[in-house]
Chain A
Amino acid sequence: MARDGLNTDRASPRLEVKGVSKRFPGVLANDHVDFAVRAGEIHALLGENGAGKSTLVKIIYGVLQPDEGVIFWDGRPVSVADPRAARRLGIGMVFQHFSLFEAMTVLENIALGMDGGTDMRALAGRVSEVSQAYGLPLDPHREVHTLSVGERQRIEIVRCLLQNPKLLIMDEPTSVLTPQEVERLFETLRQLASEGCSILYISHKLHEIKALCHHATVLRGGRVVAECDPAVETATTMAELMIGHEVGTIARRAGGGGAVARLVVEGLDQRPKTVHGVALHNISFEVKGGEIFGIAGVAGNGQSELMLALSGERLVHHGEVIRVDGQPAGRLSAGARRRLGVCCVPEERNGHAAVPAMSLTENTVLSGHHRLNLLSSIFINSAAARRFAEKVIKAFDVRTPGTAASAGSLSGGNLQKFVVGREILQAPGVLVVSQPTWGVDAGAAATIHQALADLARDGAAIVVISQDLDELLAITDRLAVINVGVLSNALVTAAADVAEIGLLMGGVHGLDAHPAPRGAGAAHAS
C-alpha cells in the first residue's frame, strides 16, 4: 500500500481548498486561495510572514471561519465549525507552540487533549504502541518539565496520531529541534505518508522542504502565486517565488574581530529563579570589537537566563563576572549597562522588549532614553522619540500606519523588525540579541543580518543567541553551544562541523533511543 495514495490522481484529493478568502480589518489575509493535498502526500505551504499561511491552516483546522470559499474533504464539501469538527474529520495539527502542562505527566497531558472519555490504562498502552510504531520514544509517566523540546513535540505528535488522522498539519515543526532530531522527525513523517496520511508542512526552511516534501504551494500576500516540485527547484528559486524578487546576500568582511575584547564573561554561575528555570554553570566567553559571536542551542537550555544576566535584568554575584570595555558591569542595573553601551533584544517581543498597548513612540522611550536624548528635565521629549521611531521604521521597513500605532497591533515580524532596529540604531558598543530574525520574512532577515554586520564593522561586539543554526553559520565569526546551562568552547564558525555542533546541541538528551534517564531530567530542573 506504500505510496499508493500519491499517484491516484483520478480520485478526489484528500483535502481541497477552493476560493477561500478571509478578511481581517485592514488586511485581506487569504485571497481566493486554491490548493489540494492528495492522500499520502507531504505538501509544503511556503510563504513569508504575513503571507497568509497561518490563517489558511487555522481555517482548515476550524479555528477560523472563511468569509468565502469551500473546503472539500475526500471530495465532499464540508464546513469545519471548530477544531473538534476538524479532528472528527481526521485532521490533526501540531502547533509551533506546544500547549502542555509542565507539572503533569506525558500521559495526563495526552489525556487532556483527547475528545471523548478516556480510560487511562488503555491510553497508556496505545501511547506506547503508537510511539514504538513511529519511532517516537516517550515514557508516558515522565513529567513534562523534565523533557527536552524535541520530546515535548513528540507528545503533541503522538496526541494527534492517537486520533488516526488522515491529514496532519505541522506548523514550523523543526524550529526548536537539533539537526539529528529533525532527521528523526522526517523519518516519522515519511513513514506516516507512506501509510496514506497526508501531511501539510509549514516551514520557511527551504532545504528541509526540498528534502521532505512532494509538492509545494507558495503563498504571497494572501494569494497562491506558484505551485512547484521542491525536488526540481533550488532553495534560491523557491525563496524568490516566496518573496517575489531576488534574495540579496550579506556583505561580510572576512575574519571579523579586532584585538580588544569589549564584552568579557568570566565564570558566570547562577542558580535558577524558579523550579523550571535553568542553572548557569561557569559560563565564560569574550567578544571582541567587530566580532559577531553566536550562541547556539535548543530552546530552554539557559539562553533566557544568560540573556537576563547579560542585560542586567538579573544581577550576578560579582561585578567582575561581566566586564564591558574593561569595566565591571555584573552588579549594574539594566539602565546603567545601557549607558555603558550594552543594548539587548530579548526573545519575547510583546511584554518584554515592548509594551503592547503603548505606541511605537513610547516604546522608543522604553529602551532608548538612556542613550538617546529623549528627556527634557522630567518630561518626555515626544518629538525626539517620534523622530527616532520614524528612523527605525524607515531603516527596517516596519509596516505600520505610523508611530502612533500600538506595538501590539504590529504583526510579529514587523514588531521584531522594530525592536531589533531600535537597539541597532542606538549604536551600542555591545549588542546582545536573541533570535534576531524570529518570525520575519527572508527580505527582512537579510536587512537585519546586514545591519548586524554593519554594526560589527563599526566596531561593536555582537552576541547572537539563536536556535536557527543556519542563521548562526551564516552571520557569526565564532560560536559556542549552550546545553543545560553549560557553554561549550567557542568554535571558529568557518571551520565548524555541523554534525559536531548538532551533537553539542543534543547534549545529554534528545538523541538516545530511550528517554533520558531521570537523573538527567532532575539535573535539568534543579
Chain B
Amino acid sequence: MRLRPALRFRIEPRRETSRPLLYVTPVVAVILTVLTGLVLFVFMGYAPGPALYHFFVSPLLTLYGLSELMVKAAPLIIIGVGLAMGFRANVWNIGAEGQLTCGAIAAGGVALALWGNEGIWVLPLMCAAGIAGGALYAAIPAFLKTRFDVNEILTSLMLTYVATLLLSTLVYGPWKDPAGFNFPQSRMFTDAAILPILLEGTRLHVGTMVALLIAVAGWVLITYTFIGFQIRVVGQAPAAARFAGFSRTGLIWLCLLISGGLAGLAGTFEIAGPIGQLVPAVSPGYGFTAIIVAFLGRLHPLGIILSGLVMALSYIGGENAQVEVGLPQAVTGVFQGLLLFFLLASDFVVRYRVRLAPAMAG
C-alpha cells in the first residue's frame, strides 16, 4: 500500500461568514436565474427580450396581474412559514404538498356535507377541518420519526403521492358531481363555503390577508416566544437543547403539526378561493415550491413574504409567457429549479471556500 499526495480541491469553511452577504445571496440567485433564463431562451430560439418581459415584467403592470400574484403567493407564504419553522429545528417536512391535499380533502368534505347551508360558521369550520387534516397527515411522519426514528424526509415525501391518489379516488368516485357530465370533480361549493373577494373583478380573496398575518405571527413566534427559542436552539445546537432540557420529541411533533396544519389551511384556501370545488389536482406543486420559498426567504417569516411573491411571479410569468410568446410550460419548473440551485450554490460560496491543495497535508 502506497499513499501518494495529490493535488485536490479542498473545501474549507470560511472563518467568518458574512451576515450581510447571506442576505444578498437570494438577490444574487434571482439575478443569476434571470441571466441563465436569457441564455436558455436564446438557445430555444425565442427572442430573449420579449420572453423575459412577458415572464417577469408584464404580469406586474396590471391590477389584475398584481392581484393574481397575491393569490398565488398566499399558499406559498402560508406553507413556507410553517416549513421554515421545521427547517430551523432540523425537521425536514418535504411532504407539504400531501398535507395541503389532505387539508383540502377535509375542508372539501365539510363544504360538501354542508352544501347549501348558509351559516357563516361554514368557512371557519372548513378552515378548522383543513388545518386538522393537514396536521393529522403530518402526524404520521412525526409518529414514525419519534417512535422508530424513521427519516421524515422519506415518509413525508412518499405520503404525498398517497394523498393525491386519495383525492383522485374521491373525486372520481363518491364525491363526483352528479350533474357534472362525469367530469372528475365535486359539486361547486355554495356561497357560504367560498372565501369573500376583496377586490371586485379579481380573485383576491381574504386568505391572502390571512397569509400575511400568519407570516407576522410566525415571526413573533420564532423571535420572541419561548417555543421559538427552543426551535432555534434545537436546530443550531442539538446538544445544547438536551442540556437545557428541551424535549426533542415534543419539538419534532410541534414542527410537523404546525407545518402540516398550515399546509392544510393553504389547501383549504385554494378550494374555497380560486377553485371553488374539489378537483383531482388542487395545487400546482405549491407544497414543493414552498420549500424553495422558505430557503429563499432565509427561513425568516418576513423574508418568506418576499420570496413567496417572487416564486408566485414564476408561476404567473410562466403562464403569461406561455400565452404571449408560446414558451413551454416546463419553463416555470426550470426557473424554480434554477433559482434553488443558484441559491444553494451562492450560499455555499459564502460559507465555504474552495482551495487547490495537496490532499495529504496534515
Contacts and interface: CB of A to CB of B under 8 A. Distances in A.
Given A369-B226, A380-B226, A120 B247 contact: no
B226 A115 contact: no
A358 B232 contact: yes
B361 A366 contact: no
Contacts of A354: 237, 240
Interface stretch (B2-10, B164-172, B303-311): B2-10
A352 interface: yes
Interface string B167-189: 00000000000000000000000
Interface stretch (A270-278, A329-337, A387-395, A498-506): A329-337
Given A351-B237, A355-B240, A379 B2 contact: no
Interface string A333-371: 111111000001010100111111110001001110110
A117 B4 contact: yes
Given A117-B5, A357-B236, A369-B226, A352 B243 contact: yes
Contact of B236 (A111, A311, A333, A355): A355
B229 A365 contact: yes
A112 B243 contact: no
Contact of B233 (A111, A336, A358): A358
A116 B5 CA distance: 6
A366 B2 CA distance: 50
B362 A311 contact: no
A379 B224 contact: yes
Nearest to A344: B243
A115 B240 contact: no
Most buried by A among B232, B242, B246: B242
B225 interface: yes
B225 A379 contact: yes
A380 B224 contact: yes
B1 interface: yes
B330 interface: no
Contact of B361 (A83, A356, A367, A379): A83
A501 to B, nearest CB: 30
A333 B247 contact: yes
A344 B240 CA distance: 12
Contacts of B247: 333
Given A117-B2, A118-B2, A380 B229 contact: yes
A335 B224 contact: no
B177 to A, nearest CB: 45
Contacts of A369: 226, 244
B80 to A, nearest CB: 22
A336 B233 CA distance: 18
Nearest to A346: B243
Contacts of A370: 245
Given A116-B5, A117-B5, A333-B247, A378 B227 contact: yes
A367 B230 CA distance: 11
A119 interface: yes
Nearest to A352: B239
Nearest to A116: B5
A117 B361 contact: no
A99 interface: yes
B113 interface: no
A221 B320 CA distance: 66
B358 to A, nearest CB: 7
B120 interface: no
B360 interface: yes
Contacts of A336: 245
Contacts of A348: 239
A32 B229 CA distance: 45
A113 B236 contact: no
B245 A355 contact: no
A84 B244 contact: no
Nearest to B227: A378
Nearest to B223: A380
A246 interface: no
Contacts of A358: 232-233, 236
Contacts of B225: 378-380
Interface string A132-148: 00000000000000000
A353 B3 contact: no
A380 B223 CA distance: 9
A472 to B, nearest CB: 23
A115 B5 contact: yes
A63 B221 CA distance: 44
A119 B362 contact: no
A101 to B, nearest CB: 12
Contacts of A118: 2-3
Contacts of B233: 355, 358, 366
Given A365-B229, A379-B226, A120 B1 contact: yes
A375 interface: yes
Contact of A334 (B244, B360, B362): B244
B59 to A, nearest CB: 38
B169 to A, nearest CB: 41
A67 interface: no
Interface in A365-406: 365-367, 369-370, 375, 378-380
A311 B4 CA distance: 47
Nearest to A374: B226
A150 interface: no
Contacts of A113: 362
A112 B233 CA distance: 36
B243 A333 contact: no
Interface string B278-307: 000000000000000000000000000000
A141 to B, nearest CB: 13
Interface string B329-362: 0000000000000000000000000000010111
A410 to B, nearest CB: 15
A270 to B, nearest CB: 16
A266 interface: no
A276 to B, nearest CB: 16
A378 B223 CA distance: 12
Given A117-B3, A334-B244, A346-B243, A375 B360 contact: no
Nearest to B16: A25
Nearest to B3: A118
A350 to B, nearest CB: 8
A354 B244 CA distance: 9
A335 B244 contact: yes
A203 B240 CA distance: 30
A353 B240 contact: yes
A-B CB proximity, top 4 nearest: A335-B245, A334-B245, A113-B362, A352-B239
24 contacts: A82-B361, A84-B358, A112-B360, A114-B360, A115-B361, A117-B2, A118-B3, A120-B1, A312-B245, A313-B243, A334-B242, A334-B244, A335-B246, A348-B239, A351-B237, A352-B243, A353-B243, A354-B237, A355-B236, A366-B233, A366-B244, A378-B226, A378-B227, A379-B226
